[in-house]
Amino acid sequence: MPARTVVAGAVKRYGEAREEKGISHQIGVPFMLSRKTVSRTVTLSAPLTTVFGLVLRVHEAPQWHPGAIHAEHLGRSDNGDTDRVRLWSLKDEKSVRTRVLRREIRDGESIVFEHEDPARPGGGVRGGWYFTARADDVTEVEMRHDLGPADAGPGLAEAVARETVRYLDALREAAEHDTERRRLVLSFEDPLFIVGDVKDVYDVLYEADRWPERMAHVDRLTMTEDEPNIQFFDMDTRTSDGSPHTTRSVRVCLPHREIVYKQIRLPRLLDAHTGYWRFTEAPEGVLARAGHSVTIKPSALGLLGEGTTAGDARRYLRRVLGTNSMGNLRVAKGYAEERAGSRGRG
């Protein structure tokens, strides 16, 4: 069934919008708002439980949605029907959008959200996903955005419509090939305990512009940080077998707690690659962990040799990615422990 775009409750040309008056109840007080509603409905050849789960589990989205970078849960009700999540996503290849959503979850029916904005209580962006099972393996999904007065400027409804189309296209691809896709996903984590200060460990991994002089596998790295703690860099590296790779990555740096990244220009073998460095302080030092999640591109398996299987690629990636990230952690360990020793001797 072809997709349709609905704006303010009527079927419209893609990207059209019209204003409508609505009643909003914020903390029990009704007031009038001029709003624009942008909606798109698609029918997917996938079970409702699969589609609903993909939308719900925002931490998995960076593997299947090109614009998603990272998500973290900020809180959840005891019964699980509401939660708060912070999301980082790409605006373009040079900038990042951050927002906090409060979500209301009705299992198998809808996930309704509101952007939290203390400056505009009740007047910001609201919306949701609404799910209907049309058959055992057919699901209709409506994705809706209700734009507040401050968000309903010229062109914004059209931009939201385009973003909605991109999201639903990615959701379709992920949902309709869910079983195959999950066989191609590899996730793992390597820990290393460091007897040093978390700030020193963090600094080595945060200062990526110094990696060519610190990390043996990094040949070149050009980095920008136009917004504090949001980094973009282009990097030339070599895997442990000598194979060269050129990638572009975006990183979200959460000081002394976590650095997460997503490759937005990928090696030819991969459809997605995300990862993190996490730091947990202990009385004796820091537990640092390096994690990776990758999605293998099945059409590129031949790059590893004729007859290469997805299992062969998983073993290859586990080795080469783990070797490089553990190399980074060992450099951070050497730096932090040397500084800790200097402080002790001082």
How many independent structural domains does the chain possess? 2
Judgement on whether residues 102 and 152 belong to the same structural domain of the protein = yes
Q: What does R_g of the chain's alpha carbons equal in angstroms? A: 23
Q: What is the pLDDT of residues 265-276, one digit of tens each?
A: 999 999 999 999
**pLDDT score for 73:** 95
- Do 93 and 140 reside in the same domain of the chain? yes
Spatial distance between the Cα atoms of 231 and 160, rounded to a whole number of angstroms: 25
Residues 172 and 199 in one domain: no
Question: Of 181, 207, 231, which residue constitutes the final position of a domain?
Answer: 181
- pLDDT tens by residue, 179-226: 999 999 999 999 999 999 999 999 999 999 999 999 989 999 999 999
3-class DSSP assignment, residue 40: strand
User: How many other CB atoms are there within 10 angstroms of residue 140's CB atom?
Assistant: 16
Nearest-angstrom CA–CA distance, 263 and 247: 7
If asked whether residues 209 and 111 sit together in one domain, one would say no
Rounded to the nearest integer, the mean pLDDT of the chain is: 88
Final residue of a structural domain among 158, 181, 204: 181
Helix-helix angle 198-206:310-345, to 10 degrees: 130
Q: Within the chain, how many helices (H) and strands (E) appear?
A: 6, 17
Clarify whether residues 154 and 259 are in a common domain: no
Kindly report, residue by residue over 121-176, the tens digit of the pLDDT.
555 789 999 999 999 999 999 999 998 766 656 677 888 889 999 999 999 999 99
d(CA 340, CA 193): 14
- CA distance linking residue 343 with residue 346, whole number of Å: 5
Question: The domain that contains 277 carries what CATH number?
Answer: 3.30.530.20
pLDDT tens by residue, 272-308: 999 999 999 999 999 999 999 999 999 999 999 999 9
CA dist 316 and 284 (Å) reads: 34
Q: Same structural domain for residues 112 and 194?
A: no
* 123 and 208 part of one domain: no
What confidence tier does 256 reach under pLDDT thresholds 50, 70, 90?
very high
Q: Say if residue 113 is in the same domain as residue 161.
A: yes
Tell me which of 160, 181, 202 is where a domain ends: 181
**Residue 128 shares a structural domain with residue 80:** yes
Both structure tokens of 302: 């031949």
pLDDT reading at 117 higher than 70: yes
Confidence of residue 19 (pLDDT cuts 50, 70, 90): very low
Phi and psi torsions of 325, nearest 5°: -70, -35
Return the structure tokens found at 301.
């398996």
| Domain containing residue 262 | 186-345
d(CA 245, CA 266) in angstroms, rounded, equals 9
State whether 122 and 210 are in the same domain.
no
pTM: 0.86
| 340 and 203 inside one domain | yes
The answer to whether residues 313 and 278 belong to one domain is yes
Q: Distance between terminal CA atoms of the chain?
A: 73
Q: Which residues pair with 135 in a beta bridge?
A: 138
